[in-house]
Amino acid sequence: MNFSVGTGFRFRRSGLDDAFRQIQAFRLSLAPSVQAARLGALADIAARIIDDRHLRARARAPRVAPFHAAMVELLDRSWAVETEQRHDPSVDFRCNVGLFPYEGTVYGVLHAEQPRFQSLWMTEANVEDFSYDASVSRPPVGPEEWAVRARVWRALYTTDDGPAWPALRGVVAYCVGPWVDRPRPEQVVAHLPTLAVRARRAAESAVLARWIKEQTPARGAARQTTASRRTRAQDGHAWLGTPAGAAAVDEEAAQILPRLPASLALTDLMGRARV
């Protein structure tokens, strides 16, 4: 069976009591990073809305402050992640720990899209890496240890009826709660991106849109399926990583940069668009 468990781990101390105590402590230590990730995502969305309004000065803009428009978008996208399992890493703040006692040891898998959450968990004192990837030709550990990992994960991912999700053998602990306190605009200001970051992001969006348009058939474009549009978008993102794509983005960013505000402040977050 060819599979990988990229965020697999095991506890150095094997008791479930120790594991649950550590998860509870981790929830508390994780909270500041969760707050920072949420505020950062909100700031990025708000900055994009502000910049879009500057770049499209002639377009009729909605009568709503960028901060509030960004908050609505963030909540909508986060809700889609939760309820529709939509893949949207920048607004996916979930962090769950699956625990699977097996042969006297507690193993687990961390489910988190935010790299910061992953790194925090893997540096916990009682946690050690136990990842596995059957396709790796040069394992990061010795052959005996690699064979042990393969045996354990194959056992956890297999039942008498065939392959199975290992949660059927264990429990899942949720480490991130709902965003109870409404963020204040003053909190978001510190997370607003720099001019260079904003210009490059706007350039990537513009270049990608043009590339997709060029790749879309002139006839029957309206009948394109969702799958074909998604594939074209994925191909476009891959093209941006090529030398030609990077050069196109650099050229576009140089043209966009003078048209954007040099810096963003609280007044930009709360200012209403002119119509």
Handedness of CA 19, 20, 25, 30 (dihedral sign): positive
**Quick one: 134 and 214 in the same domain?**
no
Last residue of a domain, one of 162, 192, 222: 192
Please state, in angstroms and as integers, the Cα–Cα distance from residue 92 to each residue in 77, 78, 265, following that order. 9, 6, 26
Q: What's the pLDDT at 226?
A: 61
Least-confidence region, from 63-67, 127-131, 144-148, 186-190: 63-67
Q: Is 5 within the bounds of a domain?
A: yes
Integer Cα distance of 192 and 252 in angstroms: 22
Q: Is 14 within the bounds of a domain?
A: yes
Which pLDDT band, with edges at 50, 70 and 90, does 249 fall under?
very high
Q: Is 267 within the bounds of a domain?
A: no
Residue range of the domain that includes 54: 1-192
Question: Residue 164: pLDDT above 70?
Answer: no
List, in sequence order, every residue forming a beta bridge with 127; answer none if it has no partner: 11
CB 233 within 8 A of CB 168: no
How many domains does the chain contain in total? Answer: 2
Handedness of CA 212, 229, 4, 107 (dihedral sign): positive
Chain centroid to Cα 179, Å, comes to: 17
For 45, how many CA atoms within 13 A lie in the half-sphere containing its CB? 23
Which pLDDT tens digit goes with each residue over 82-112?
898 888 999 999 999 999 988 889 999 999 9
Contacts of 245 (CB under 8 A, 6+ apart): 207, 211, 239
3-state SS class at 204: helix
Nearest to residue 98, comparing CAs of 159, 17, 178, 10?
A: 10
Q: Is 243 within the bounds of a domain?
A: yes
Average the pLDDT over 205-221 and give the result: 79
Q: Is 271 within the bounds of a domain?
A: no
**Quick one: 217 and 110 in the same domain?**
no
**Quick one: 198 and 234 in the same domain?**
yes
Integer Cα distance of 193 and 98 in angstroms: 34
**Quick one: 45 and 106 in the same domain?**
yes
CB 1 within 8 A of CB 154: yes
**Quick one: 117 and 154 in the same domain?**
yes
Contacts of 10 (CB under 8 A, 6+ apart): 105, 106, 107, 108, 127, 128, 130
**Quick one: 149 and 133 in the same domain?**
yes
**Quick one: 108 and 167 in the same domain?**
yes
Average pLDDT, the chain: 86
CB 117 within 8 A of CB 33: yes
Last residue of a domain, one of 176, 192, 208: 192
**Quick one: 2 and 25 in the same domain?**
yes
Which of 86 and 45 is assigned the larger pLDDT? 45
Q: Is 268 within the bounds of a domain?
A: no
Q: Is 265 within the bounds of a domain?
A: no
**Quick one: 87 and 141 in the same domain?**
yes
Least-confidence region, from 125-129, 138-142, 186-190, 219-223: 219-223
Question: Residue 223: pLDDT above 60?
Answer: no
**Quick one: 84 and 166 in the same domain?**
yes
Which pLDDT band, with edges at 50, 70 and 90, does 274 fall under?
very low
Question: Residue 166: pLDDT above 80?
Answer: no
Last residue of a domain, one of 139, 171, 192: 192
**Quick one: 198 and 175 in the same domain?**
no
Q: Is 275 within the bounds of a domain?
A: no
List, in sequence order, every residue forming a beta bridge with 97; answer none if it has no partner: 110, 173
- Which DSSP state fits 85? -
**Quick one: 131 and 170 in the same domain?**
yes
Q: What's the pLDDT at 1?
A: 47
